[in-house]
Structure 1
Amino acid sequence: MDDRTLSDLLRRFGLSDKEIDTYLTLLEHGEAKASTVADAAGVSKRYVYSVSESLADRGFVEVHDHVVPTTIRANPPDEVIDRLRSDVDSIRPALEERFSRVERETEQFEVVKSRVTVIKRIRSLVDDAESELTLSIPAKRLPEIRDSLVAAVERGVLVLLVVSDVDEPPDVDGVASVVRTWSEAMPTLLTVDSDVGVIAPPELLRRSDSDRQAIVFAQEQLAPVIVGSFLGNYWPAAAEVATVEPAALPVEYENFRQTVFQATVHLRSGTTLTATVAGRSTADETETEVTGRVVGVKQGMVEPTNNEFPVQHSLAIETADGTVTVGGKGAFVEDIEADLVRLDAE
């Protein structure tokens, strides 16, 4: 390697031209007085002292100022390389964290112009659903994601589905926990696990030549807003056409809407239910666990609905200390915010 290439590489580590000249001179001498280095590098003696202190701080040299005259020794290259490698390794986690943070931010929204791509994204997100999804989709597009929806229901995902733009009754056997239909066209709205989803205008999925665009999002703050709009604006306008059979008891859920749905269909089938709730008091945020008979539900998923606002889903549980109300994540009207609920037949 020639001197120019070596100097370029050292410059990448933040060394100035004078620092490089001083360091290379010291490498050739091993150890030398400041005056010797000054003459060889073409700098002043005072500058050599200043540069040597800077090089010493970064592990390139050692300054022996306890002797007279002061001498400067170049550290063995292996030590210098090990020090540089250690510095690089130490900053790697911080660099990777910042890089991944930017990646996450840039990936929060994706604009999609193709109907085929929108369906592909919907199918992929449904395949990844773990606990809950809400979806509105035109009847003509339902067959393209049918298998994914059936698989989601079979693995225990709560699926609330509106089939829009309906001319004749669609085949909805097994595709959702609750299916509603609407004769009107409506936007395609998908949320999965209150985390990711898709928003697409009606024209994009109705016509192959549409110039409209869809948005695929991955943002925890946005998904609950979309769920609220879905349950508050579109779900009540559609007509219920199918509901799955209740799950075999006992069951245990972290997803609270799934808990309320299962409690509702079990109670309506005549089952006497008990619930064990682990969560916290909404009054003082203390951890709590209660067990008792489920004596009531507030919900807007299954007809007849009885909730007082679109996202209200709660249980009333009769305990030894009286009746308490239980809500899901972010509950404030109810007595308890639940993290986990176990339902069983009494």
Structure 2
Amino acid sequence: MADDLRFTMERVGERFNLGEYEIDAYLAVLEHGELTASEIADNTDIPQPRVYDTVRSLSDRGLVELRESRPMKIVAVDPEDAFGNIQSSLTELVDELGARYTAPARDTEAVSLVKSRSTILRYIEEVIDNAEYELVLSLTPDLLRRFYDDLAAAIDGGVSIDLLVTPASRAPDPAEFDYLSVCTIARARRGITTPVLAVADGEYSVYATQDALRDDQDRYGVIFNRSALGFLVSSYFATVLWTTAEVLAADGKHRPFPRRYASIRRAVKDIRELGDEFYATVKGRDVETGNSVVVEGKVVSVAFEDTEEVAAMTVETDEGTVEVGGLVAALEEVEAQEILIGRHAPPGQMSVAHD
């Protein structure tokens, strides 16, 4: 029985282990019936040097036929013929695997490397769904469309979203795409070297190369599963990626006050841009002793550089003024781990627990 299961799984895996290029090429050929390699390149974003390897891979899986001519024709195979013969095998495989499945315990502080495209995508979806108040993302245009409904639901739920789309040359035109239905602000950045990433509330994060989400098995993704190390990904996004991108859309749906922040940069930017009187409740650590502290009072000044490398605030408390910085702060007195901003008085945790 074990050998039969392995054989069935190998057959299914061989047929469905398609990379992004293979999927794009297959759909293009299906739409047109037959295409040449040059026509596939014209109808997709597949680089010309990769087209022949891609169509041969599809041919090996029985999804297309290669007809020797000048130029060679790539002809679509009827999907019923291509996939129908393994439909029953797939059903049996799912049933058998389900019978053997044992749900693993989730390590809430796990850090792991993953090479599976499907696993990376699943974690990106989890990050989006788990965001309570703040989300930063770097997505390809294809991933933006894939997660459109999830992002729209997050925006409707009051989550503040910074969205980076890469590469910029493929980003949807703001005149045709409603960015503000899925984010608070959107920017575009050049280059396929820009990673795909997602960070929820400054903690739960995913980082992956764009290649890892195509078909390059030598690439990887990193999952910080609710780890405090998520701030590394968030800081990299804010200081390296976000500051080198062009604005696509801004002034999205504003959250009501009081607001909760994982990033001092976002808190300071909101205070500076709104230009009103604000009060803060900051939970964090004394940078000298490491002791946990709570700072409550009126925000009397903020420091912010357009490069976003520096962000800090001064809070006037009953004991005097306190300088507050972000995670791993060194120049300020307090490292902020969670920031609550209100308009009339320092907000308490309970007042924003259900925002």
**Both proteins in one fold, TM over 0.5:** yes
- TM value normalised by structure 2: 0.54
- Give the Cα–Cα distance (whole angstroms) in 2 for the partners of residues 106 and 344 of structure 1: 35
Q: Where does residue 344 of structure 1 map in the other structure? A: 343
Q: Where does residue 334 of structure 1 map in the other structure? A: 332
Greater Cα offset, 233-242 or 273-282: 273-282
Secondary structure of 1:235's partner? helix
Match of 1:190 among 194, 198, 210: 198
Instruction: State the structure with bigger RCO (CA 8 A, min sep 6), 1 or 2.
Output: 2
- Give the Cα–Cα distance (whole angstroms) in 2 for the partners of residues 286 and 197 of structure 1: 24
Match of 2:278 among 273, 287, 307: 273
Taking the TM superposition and a 5 Å limit, the aligned residue runs for 1:249-288 are 249=257, 251-253=258-260, 255-257=261-263, 260-277=265-282, 279=284, 281-284=286-289, 285=291, 287-288=293-294
Taking the TM superposition and a 5 Å limit, the aligned residue runs for 1:90-239 are 104=107, 108-114=111-117, 116-167=118-169, 169-170=173-174, 171=177, 172-185=179-192, 186-205=194-213, 207=214, 209-219=215-225, 220=227, 222-239=229-246
User: Could you list the runs of 5+ residues in structure 1 that have no partner in the other structure?
Assistant: 1-98, 300-304
Aligned residues: 232
Q: Is the 8 A contact 2:202 2:262 kept in 1?
A: no
- Give the Cα–Cα distance (whole angstroms) in 1 for the partners of residues 150 and 187 of structure 2: 18
Deviation at 1:142, TM superposition (A): 0.7
| Residues 276 and 200 of structure 1, relative CA distance in 2, 3 Å threshold | closer
Q: Is the 8 A contact 2:151 2:183 kept in 1?
A: yes
Secondary structure of 1:314's partner? strand
| Residues 188 and 293 of structure 1, relative CA distance in 2, 3 Å threshold | closer
Deviation at 1:164, TM superposition (A): 0.4
| Residues 324 and 187 of structure 1, relative CA distance in 2, 3 Å threshold | same
- Give the Cα–Cα distance (whole angstroms) in 1 for the partners of residues 123 and 253 of structure 2: 29
Deviations 1:319-342 (A, max 9, x none): 576543212444332123344533
Q: Is the 8 A contact 2:134 2:202 kept in 1?
A: yes
Name the Cα RMSD after superposition: 3.5
Match of 1:290 among 296, 315, 330: 296
- Give the Cα–Cα distance (whole angstroms) in 1 for the partners of residues 119 and 156 of structure 2: 25
| Residues 175 and 212 of structure 1, relative CA distance in 2, 3 Å threshold | farther
Partner amino acid, structure 2, of 1:214? Y
- Give the Cα–Cα distance (whole angstroms) in 1 for the partners of residues 229 and 335 of structure 2: 21
Secondary structure of 2:182's partner? coil
| Residues 134 and 279 of structure 1, relative CA distance in 2, 3 Å threshold | closer
User: Could you list the runs of 5+ residues in structure 2 that have no partner in the other structure?
Assistant: 1-103, 346-355
Q: Is the 8 A contact 2:314 2:323 kept in 1?
A: yes
| Residues 317 and 174 of structure 1, relative CA distance in 2, 3 Å threshold | farther
- Give the Cα–Cα distance (whole angstroms) in 1 for the partners of residues 329 and 109 of structure 2: 31
In the TM superposition, structure 1's runs of 4+ consecutive aligned residues that sit over 6 Å from their partners are none
- Give the Cα–Cα distance (whole angstroms) in 2 for the partners of residues 124 and 280 of structure 1: 29
Deviation at 1:238, TM superposition (A): 0.9
- Give the Cα–Cα distance (whole angstroms) in 1 for the partners of residues 125 and 275 of structure 2: 36
Deviation at 1:212, TM superposition (A): 4.6
Partner amino acid, structure 1, of 2:274? S
Q: Where does residue 21 of structure 2 map in the other structure? A: none
Q: Percent same amino acid at aligned positions?
A: 24
Q: Is the 8 A contact 1:296 1:315 kept in 2?
A: yes
- Give the Cα–Cα distance (whole angstroms) in 1 for the partners of residues 283 and 121 of structure 2: 38
- TM value normalised by structure 1: 0.55
Secondary structure of 1:326's partner? strand
Question: Which has the larger Rg?
Answer: 1
Deviations 1:65-97 (A, max 9, x none): xxxxxxxxxxxxxxxxxxxxxxxxxxxxxxxxx
